[in-house]
Amino acid sequence: MSRPANRLERLTGDRSGQHSVRINIRWRICFEWREGDAYNVEIVDYH
């Protein structure tokens, strides 16, 4: 079984300093990664 392609990405622009993981084509989990932990986690509608 293959792993899902959640596309962990480093964000730019207004979200510089954040990362995202795709839930599906419409939704992403955005967060800041510091000292091995996720902070300011939010679920975002990207469309």
> What are the sequence ranges of the domains in the chain?
9-45
pTM: predicted TM-score of the whole model, two decimal places: 0.80
pLDDT of residue 4: 64
Q: What is the pLDDT of residues 7-45, one digit of tens each?
A: 999 999 999 999 999 999 899 999 999 999 999 999 999
Residue 45: predicted pLDDT: 96
DSSP three-state, residue 2 = coil
Q: Note the maximum CA span of the chain.
A: 36
**What's the pLDDT at 3?**
62
pLDDT of residue 1: 58
Q: What HEC string does 19-44 produce?
A: EEEECCCCEEEEEEEECCEEEEEEEE
Q: What is the pLDDT of residue 46?
A: 80
**Domain 9-45, what fold?**
YaeB-like fold (3.30.2310)
